[in-house]
């Protein structure tokens, strides 16, 4: 977003009638996660009160959390897990609601149907991957993960049953020797689409869900109308191409959800999910935090502490 990614679609969402003219979103406040304290509630807000400790994932079309105050709808926030500090809690909402949207809303998984399901996570060591491993293990799935050699113990420590090192050679070769999967969650994209759908159990409802889609890039590049047409044509072609082979091809997207965070909060307090904070920065170190994130090779999440009370 700092480099303009998604600006065409997000500007439209912020200001559908272009009343304030493009450019009015600046200064744009970044930061998609928040854990803090409610300062004020709207008159019709019933579920939250002033001074409640809450956490949320902020939609990318809203001003972000690298600020003292954030304005959110009541259905986007949730009571923060009691067992976590604000800094720990702030590492979870965005990747959690993204993984939840991909696995539950798009992938059709739930705590009631995961037992004995085989799930492959491409890219298990980053923010989404580290959360997805823990959620799926808590729900009883068998989880295979790809990651770098030096992240193997790290993802096993989060519960991964089987780990494949993608740096040791073409990763599709060892993966193709394994029993087939009920769901593939793709955090990597690109080349993976060429082989990942062949790892699914055909004609069983098995799904490939990728979080790496060209949707925002298309609208940035072609404008809203042509970008959306291009996107619709691309996804429809891929869905049909794979459907005739007996597997389902889907795109996953972040979706803000207080109710999903309520369930995740309970899982955290029950000890089923923990925070994976790689590094914490102070507010004055925000530039260094962004430089660190941009280098890639994440092992969990990077957190910024705005104040000692909330993150």
Ligand X SMILES: NC(=O)c1ccc[n+]([C@@H]2O[C@H](COP(=O)([O-])OP(=O)(O)OC[C@H]3O[C@@H](n4cnc5c(N)ncnc54)[C@H](OP(=O)(O)O)[C@@H]3O)[C@@H](O)[C@H]2O)c1
125 touching ligand X, by CB under 6 A: yes
**Cβ(216)–Cβ(1) under 8 Å?**
no
CB of 100 to ligand X, least distance (A): 11
Read off the tokens for 152: 């193997």
Q: What is the C-alpha to C-alpha distance for residues 36 and 87, in angstroms, rounded to an integer?
A: 9
Residues contacting residue 302 through CB under 8 Å, at least 6 positions apart:
277, 278, 279, 280, 281, 289, 292, 293
Rounded CA separation 264/80 (Å)? 9
> What distance in Å separates the CA atoms of residue 121 and residue 146, rounded to the nearest whole number?
6
Interface region with ligand X, contact rule CB under 6 A, candidates 12-20, 44-52, 61-69, 122-130: 122-130
Q: Is 129 in the site for ligand X (CB under 6 A)?
A: yes
Task: Please say which residue, 127 or 258, places its beta carbon nearer to ligand X.
Answer: 127
Does residue number 264 form part of the binding site for ligand X (CB under 6 A)? Answer: no
Angle among Cα 178, 184, 190 to the nearest 5 degrees reads 105
- 227 interacts with ligand X by CB under 6 A: no
In the complex with ligand X, which residue's Cβ is closer, 83 or 288? 288
**125 or 265: CB nearest ligand X:** 125
Contacting ligand X (CB under 6 A), which of 93, 127, 256, 310? Answer: 127
Which range of residues in 18-26, 75-83, 120-128, 235-243 is near ligand X by CB under 6 A? 120-128
Q: Taking CB under 6 A as the rule, does residue 277 contact ligand X?
A: no
Task: For residue 138, give Cα distances in angstroms to 71, 95, 133, 151.
Answer: 32, 16, 9, 21
Site residues, ligand X (CB under 6 A) = 95, 98, 122-123, 125-129, 146-148, 166, 187-188, 211-213, 252-254, 296-298
């Amino acid at each position: 977003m700092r480099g303009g990614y998604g600006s065409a679609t997000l500007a439209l969402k912020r200001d559908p009638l272009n009343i304030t003219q493009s450019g009015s979103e600046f200064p744009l406040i970044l930061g998609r996660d928040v854990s803090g304290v409610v300062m004020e509630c709207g008159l019709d807000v019933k579920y939250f009160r002033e001074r409640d400790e809450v956490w949320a994932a902020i939609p990318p079309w809203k001003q972000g959390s690298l600020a003292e105050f954030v304005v959110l709808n009541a259905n986007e926030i949730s009571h923060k897990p009691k067992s976590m500090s604000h800094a720990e809690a702030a590492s979870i909402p965005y990747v959690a609601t993204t993984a939840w949207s991909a696995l539950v809303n798009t992938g059709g998984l739930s705590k009631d149907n995961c037992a004995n399901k085989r799930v492959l996570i491409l890219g298990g060591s980053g923010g989404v991957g580290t959360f997805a491993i823990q959620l799926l293990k808590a729900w009883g799935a068998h989880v295979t993960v790809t990651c770098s050699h030096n992240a193997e113990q790290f993802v096993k420590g989060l519960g991964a049953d089987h780990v494949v090192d993608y740096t040791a050679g073409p990763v599709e070769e060892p993966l193709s020797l394994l029993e087939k999967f009920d769901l593939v969650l793709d955090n990597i994209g690109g080349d993976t689409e060429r082989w990942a759908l062949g790892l699914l159990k055909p004609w069983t409802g098995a799904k490939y869900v990728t979080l790496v889609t060209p949707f925002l890039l298309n609208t940035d590049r072609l404008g809203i109308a042509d970008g959306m047409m291009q996107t619709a044509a691309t996804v429809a072609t891929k869905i049909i191409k794979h459907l005739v082979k007996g597997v389902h091809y889907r795109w996953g997207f972040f979706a803000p959800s207080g109710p999903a965070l309520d369930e995740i909060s309970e899982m955290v307090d029950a000890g089923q999910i923990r925070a994976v904070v790689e590094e914490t920065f102070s507010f004055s170190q925000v530039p260094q935090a962004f430089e660190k994130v941009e280098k890639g090779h994440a092992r969990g999440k990077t957190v910024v502490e705005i104040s000692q009370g909330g993150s």
